[in-house]
């Protein structure tokens, strides 16, 4: 199922982002995983390589995942709410999120994750319909379609806030991912 998603999605021209993208960025990781991580949209590196979260923020994310004993290639399926890069890395527009939602829904149906991690406010709003600051939303378990959902800071925010101190965004994100790991072990 995920293979056929990939074939059809890689030709999609359902919104204006098709005219500026280089590559449709669909996923990386394990389509059989119990954990799905959803971000906002591809950046420049992702657009070039055709894989989500492979630039600096992706490497920061992978490092934190490994620190809580989650293997990014084995334990997660990683994708974005929008599959094509918005010009100049602007936030995806509502119409683009809406146009791309059917691809995300197909991915959710195919992977059928037990737990979902949402990175950043755009992903939280796209899935949960909640608007708000990530400082309030992160670390608070939510539910969507029978699944446990954990909002976390976007890794690009962590790059802008590099403090390793206890209680800083990196430390809080590590705690949130550790809670996700524990939740997966309970199942």
Cβ 70 vs Cβ 177: under 8 Å = yes
Report the residue number, 17 or 60, with the smaller CB distance to ligand SF4.
17
Element at 149 (helix H, strand E): strand 147-152
**Position among 5, 12, 36, 108 found at the interface with ligand SF4 (CB under 6 A):** 12
| Stated length of the chain | 187
**Position among 2, 6, 18, 183 found at the interface with ligand SF4 (CB under 6 A):** 18
Tell me if 83 contacts ligand SF4 by CB under 6 A: yes
Interacting positions 119-148 with ligand SF4 (CB under 6 A): none
CB of 41 to ligand SF4, least distance (A): 8
Cβ 126 vs Cβ 134: under 8 Å = no
Q: Which stretch binds ligand SF4 (CB under 6 A): 56-64, 95-103, 114-122, 140-148?
A: 95-103
Q: How far apart (Å, rounded) are the C-alpha atoms in residues 23 and 44? A: 10
Cβ 79 vs Cβ 117: under 8 Å = no
CB of 103 to ligand SF4, least distance (A): 6
Residues with Cβ within 8 Å of residue 61, at least 6 apart in sequence: 37, 53, 72, 119, 155
**Position among 37, 84, 121, 148 found at the interface with ligand SF4 (CB under 6 A):** 84
Q: Which stretch binds ligand SF4 (CB under 6 A): 14-22, 60-68, 122-130, 147-155?
A: 14-22
7 φψ region: left (φ > 0), alpha (ψ -120 to 50), beta (else): alpha
CB of 98 to ligand SF4, least distance (A): 9
Q: How far apart (Å, rounded) are the C-alpha atoms in residues 178 and 160? A: 22
Rounded to the nearest 5°, which phi and psi values hold at 77?
Answer: -110, 125
Q: Which stretch binds ligand SF4 (CB under 6 A): 59-67, 76-84, 119-127, 177-185?
A: 76-84
Report the residue number, 42 or 58, with the smaller CB distance to ligand SF4.
42
């Amino acid at each position: 199922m995920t293979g056929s998603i990939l074939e059809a999605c890689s030709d999609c021209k359902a919104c204006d982002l098709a005219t500026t993208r280089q590559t449709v960025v669909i996923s990386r990781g394990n389509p059989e995983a119990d954990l799905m991580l959803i971000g906002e949209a591809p950046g420049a590196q992702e657009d070039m390589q055709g894989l989500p979260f492979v630039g600096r923020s992706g490497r920061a994310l992978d490092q934190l995942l490994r620190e809580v004993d989650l293997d990014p290639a084995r334990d997660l399926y990683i994708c974005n709410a929008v599959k094509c890069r918005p010009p100049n890395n602007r936030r995806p527009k509502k119409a683009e999120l809406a146009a791309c939602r059917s691809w995300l829904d197909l991915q959710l149906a195919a992977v059928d994750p037990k737990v979902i991690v949402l990175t950043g406010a755009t992903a939280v709003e796209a899935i949960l319909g909640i608007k708000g600051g990530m400082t309030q939303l992160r670390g608070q378990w939510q539910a969507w379609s029978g699944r446990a959902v954990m909002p976390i800071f976007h890794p690009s925010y962590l790059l802008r806030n590099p403090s390793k101190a206890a209680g800083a965004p990196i430390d809080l994100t590590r705690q949130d991912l550790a809670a996700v790991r524990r939740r997966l072990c309970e199942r």
